[in-house]
Amino acid sequence: MSNYDKKLEGKERDEYIAKRFPTCVICNQDIKPNAIGWKHGNNAQPVAEGQCCDECNTNKVMPARLQGHYPKMSMSGALELSAQLVRFKKGIE
């Protein structure tokens, strides 16, 4: 913790930490920077309002979006397609 972090107290310190370390609205874990350094997470809709981590985006948000577009798609099919999209994306970066 830096000296600046220690000088802040109460609500001011909590707000500073929240800005520095955003939290996933789905799993409540810190959002970690991805491979290109983006540290603000992903849009969590339609699962929740706010930002989510990459893991929740892959395992919850993307499958929910796919099922929204393809209502007959099973959850297992949506999860598999989501995982394939992530693997494809990682191959490009």
14 CB-near residues (< 8 Å, 6+ apart): none
Tokens of 26: 């789905």
pLDDT digits (tens, 9 = 90+) for 13-55: 767 766 667 899 999 999 988 878 888 899 999 999 999 999 9
Q: Considering the chain, what percentage of its residues have pLDDT values greater than 90? A: 43
- Residue 48 C-alpha from the chain's centroid: 11
pTM of the model: 0.69
Backbone angles phi, psi at 28, to 5 degrees: 65, 20
Residue with tokens 């893991």: 55
Region 80-87: mean pLDDT is: 88
